[in-house]
Every structure is written in structure tokens, then in C-alpha cells.
Amino acid sequence: MKEGTDKASGNMEPRRGGLFFGLGVGLLVAFLSYQWITNPAPRAERELEEAVVLDARNHLIVQLGVSEIIDPLAPNRKIGKSYVYRAGTGWEVSGYYRRDDNDRWHAFLMSLDDARNLTLLKVQDSELAERAREDSMLEVSP
């Protein structure tokens, strides 16, 4: 049998270089994982997004008097997707709403400034067409 082989299986014995390489990669992965887990930036961004969505809900309730809202904090994929994201110097929140169980779901896209004040509310709700003519912040799409 050749020198440097395992007698039982005939395979080469592990070399020190491979062992050190494996330890090095393992330590690097552990260090990067720790850095990623303990990074507070994603948590802070998530908290800000949640505050934006809560403000958007309040604007929607005040502006339209809705009872049910599908938004990023209360998703329902059967009805549709909802998003919150930064847009320029403000935020945009999308989702769906309805006034009661007899109403169908209406899509909305709300634009908020950096102070989270309502700047534009786009809805797909023909019942609000007359109101949209009087309110510059409300836009109705067919």
C-alpha cells in the first residue's frame, strides 16, 4: 500500500492545509453571520416602514372611511399584493380596501412625504369620482 493512504479505505489522509482552510472558511462565515444578525440598520428600517404603513392606514380611514384594509402589515395574497417603499423624498404604500362586506376590494396607492403627510391617494373606485373632482389629493382610476 502506498505511503500517505488510509489503510482501510485507500483514500488520502487529510492534509493540514485542508484543515486550516476549512477552519478559516468556517470562522469567516461565523464572523459574517454574526455581523449580519447584530446589524441594527434593517430593524430600524423595518420599524420606520411599519410606522409609515400605520400612518397610511390612518389617512385611508380618515379620507375614505373604510373598514377593511389589506396593506403590508395585514397582507392577504388571495386579494392582492401590497407594498411599502421609499419614493424620492417620501414613501408609497399600496394595498386594497373595502367599506363593508358587500363592497368589492379597491386597489389604492398612497404617496406620503418625508413627514408622512398625505400628498396623493390614487384609488380604483368609481364611487369616489365626484369627490376626486373637488379634492386635489384624490385621484380615481377606472
The pLDDT tens digits of the residues spanning 94-137 come to 999 998 889 899 999 999 999 999 999 999 998 999 999 999 99
pLDDT tier for residue 8 given thresholds of 50, 70 and 90:
low
Beta bridge partners of 107: 96
Residue 90: domain span: 41-140
Q: Is residue 22 part of a domain?
A: no
**Is the model's pTM score more than 0.75?**
no
pLDDT tier for residue 6 given thresholds of 50, 70 and 90:
low
Mean pLDDT of the chain, nearest integer: 87
Which amino acid appears at position 44 of this protein?
Answer: A
Kindly report the backbone phi and psi dihedral angles of residue 38, in degrees, each rounded to the nearest multiple of 5, phi listed first: -90, 0
Decide if 132 contacts 68 (C-beta within 8 A).
no
Q: Is residue 112 part of a domain?
A: yes
The DSSP secondary-structure symbol of 80 reads B
Q: Is residue 32 part of a domain?
A: no
Any idea which residue has 399584493 for its cell? 81
Which set of grid coordinates corresponds to residue 68? 377593511
State residue 39's pLDDT score.
Answer: 84
Q: Is residue 47 part of a domain?
A: yes
Q: Cβ of 119: how many Cβ atoms within 10 Å? A: 13
**CA end-to-end distance (rounded Å), the chain:** 82
Which amino acid appears at position 62 of this protein?
Answer: V
Q: Is residue 36 part of a domain?
A: no
Residues of 51-85 as b/e, b for ≥16 C-beta within 10 angstroms?
ebbebbbebbeebbebeebbbbbeeeeeeeebebe
Residue 136: how many CA atoms within 13 Å on its side-chain side? Answer: 1
Q: Is residue 15 part of a domain?
A: no
Structural domains of the chain, count: 1
